[in-house]
Structure 1
Amino acid sequence: MANLKEIRSRITSVGSTMQITSAMKMVSAAKLKRAQDAIIQLRPYANKLRDILENISSTLDSDAGGKLTIEREVKKMLVVVITSNRGLAGAFNSNVFKIANALVVENSVKGIETELMTIGKKGFDLMRKSNTIYKNESSLWDNLSYENVAVIADEVTEKFLAGDYDQVRLVYNSFKNAATQIVMDEQYLPVQIVKSESGAAQSVDYIFEPSKEEIVTDLIPQALKTQFFKAILDSNAAEHGARMTAMHKATDNADALRKELVLQYNKERQAAITNEILEIVGGAEALDS
């Protein structure tokens, strides 16, 4: 059984840990507000851009968007794994790792060669041990902006157009709320053009200038960059939400542990005082006899 000095030391240690986790929770809460505002503002634009692309392309041929929309036999795939640079966020990074690793294993069974692009140090550290890493773009989190994301999106698109990869997929955490993150595995390239079942024209007859084909061709690169940026912002907000939740639970657990240790300390202290009193009484009786 631990003595009083050891219990006091543990109480102090748990108290210090609780201060750290509480501070990290507050920092993550502040960052979450900004990250949440960013993704909420982008989503309507991204969704509307996708709807316009789908509505215009629904009456066009599948190859109307050029090489970016042509499906081809998948022999080599690039998986973009989006994680964080820092830990202490619960299962935020490990959930992405599980999905990405399962995709790699599935491709291996099908005979598809898989390479990874990692955005986030945690994903790079987890995936590099047993996978081929094409590139690590962890520095993106140091200066997150649309311009920097667009550079990476253009590079991935060029690799696809050059035939280096037959398919590109994004694996990341989508932000739902502070306590819930949904791991997404979505196809980035080739762009999937949604074609109407009937092939009929739209219910509202628009006059397009320029032509539908030109509009789709111009919209696709913009839609790709927006989709990539949306995935990054989703992951950023999800990370802060996951860390805030994890630190909140850690603080609660530390508080409960400290209370248990204080109770144990008081019991041990009480027992020690009782033993000392018994020894004094016993000694006094021995002197009297």
Structure 2
Amino acid sequence: MSNPKEIKRRILSIESVIKTTEAMKMISIVKLRKTKGLLTHVKTYLDHIELLISDFLLTEKLEKNKYFLEKEEKKKLFIVFTSNRGLCGSFNSLIFEKINQLFQKKGYSHNECIFFSIGKKGFDFLVKRYKIYDKNNNWIDWGDDFTKSNEKIQTLTKKFISIFIQKKVSSIYLMYNNFKKSLFQEIIVEKLLPVSVDLQKEKTEIEYILEPSQKEIFDYLIPKFVNAKLLKIFLESSYSEHTARMISMHKATENASEIKNDLVLNYNKERQTTITKEILEIISGLESLNEKK
């Protein structure tokens, strides 16, 4: 049987774990609510930009535009959104599994795909196995400051548009984790460049006059669209990460509580056994004294 003191030490250790997981769960809930509010505003902004672009495409005869044409070069750049820290269940592993499927099921070659990781966990996975774009500065520790994150995303927007226009890659895709309402995780692969928007079924009643020119309008509007889309995906990935971590910490707390209950039960049994043993020794001692008398 175990030593009651050892069981007591383990109980105290488990209680410390429960406090930690509960605290991490509450932190994730707070961050989740904050991210959800930001995501709602960014989605509204992006929807209006997409609507504006689709109206332009329906009312104007689109000339050959650098943002809408796929390049002859067949290299694809995948921007992968992962977390910087662990303890978030299968959030990162599902992304890694999806990346492996690109080569196993889709039949892509290693020379055809380049990866850019937003998140340290993704960088650590990709750098050992696949071709990385900008190895020296590939992952960015976003932190929780939305203003700084938005500034970094604006920098990335300029970088991605530049390498696309310079024909270093033919297309750019976003790969991220999305939580459904049923708490089911789904890995989304979405094209960023060349730009593709859902055209309305019916022609818009608004007759736009593009001034000074179609090219200059799109040169201003498309970077705004790309930046908003990157920001939306970043927030959706963060939302999914906090949801996954909240669920993971909740399950960890439940499991730790079950272990604690089992340890308390064992501790009480051991203590009762010890007390019973001591009582028997006292009774045996009294009986032996009575026999001597």
Range of TM-score over shorter length: 0.7 to 0.9
Q: Structure 1: where are the runs of 5+ without partners?
A: none
Determine what percentage of the aligned residue pairs are the same residue.
36
Query: 1:229 maps to which residue?
Result: 231
Query: 2:255 maps to which residue?
Result: 253
Query: 2:113 maps to which residue?
Result: 114
2:170 to 158, 162, 166: 166
Query: 1:210 maps to which residue?
Result: 211
Q: How far apart, in 1, do the equivalents of 2:118 and 2:289 lie?
A: 79
Q: Is the 8 A contact 1:4 1:268 kept in 2?
A: yes
Where does 1:76-225 land on structure 2 (aligned, <5 Å)?
A: 76-106=75-105, 109=108, 113-135=112-134, 136-141=138-143, 144-174=148-178, 176=180, 179=183, 181-194=185-198, 202-210=203-211, 213-214=214-215, 215-225=217-227
Q: How far apart, in 2, do the equivalents of 1:178 and 1:233 lie?
A: 19
- The one-letter amino acid paired with 2:129 is S
1:265 to 264, 267, 275: 267
**1:203–1:48 Cα change, 3 Å:** closer
Where 1:138 maps in the other structure, the secondary structure is: coil
TM-fit CA distance, 1:237: 2.2
TM norm structure 1: 0.87
Q: Structure 2: where are the runs of 5+ without partners?
A: none
Query: 2:55 maps to which residue?
Result: 55
**1:232–1:111 Cα change, 3 Å:** closer
Q: Is the 8 A contact 2:73 2:167 kept in 1?
A: no
Q: Is the 8 A contact 1:81 1:116 kept in 2?
A: yes
User: Deviations for 1:191-212, whole angstroms, at most 9, x for unmatched residues?
Assistant: 1254577xxx715252424388
Query: 1:30 maps to which residue?
Result: 30
TM-fit CA distance, 1:147: 2.3
Aligned length: 285
Q: Is the 8 A contact 1:174 1:231 kept in 2?
A: no
Q: How far apart, in 2, do the equivalents of 1:255 and 1:212 lie?
A: 66
TM-fit CA distance, 1:97: 1.9
Query: 1:66 maps to which residue?
Result: 65
Where 2:41 maps in the other structure, the secondary structure is: helix
User: Deviations for 1:234-268, whole angstroms, at most 9, x for unmatched residues?
Assistant: 12222222222221221222122211111111111
Q: Is the 8 A contact 1:75 1:113 kept in 2?
A: yes
* CA RMSD of superposed structures (Å): 2.7
**1:134–1:205 Cα change, 3 Å:** closer
- The one-letter amino acid paired with 1:67 is K
User: Deviations for 1:161-197, whole angstroms, at most 9, x for unmatched residues?
Assistant: 1111111111112355695554221111111254577
- The one-letter amino acid paired with 1:225 is N
Q: Is the 8 A contact 1:178 1:245 kept in 2?
A: no
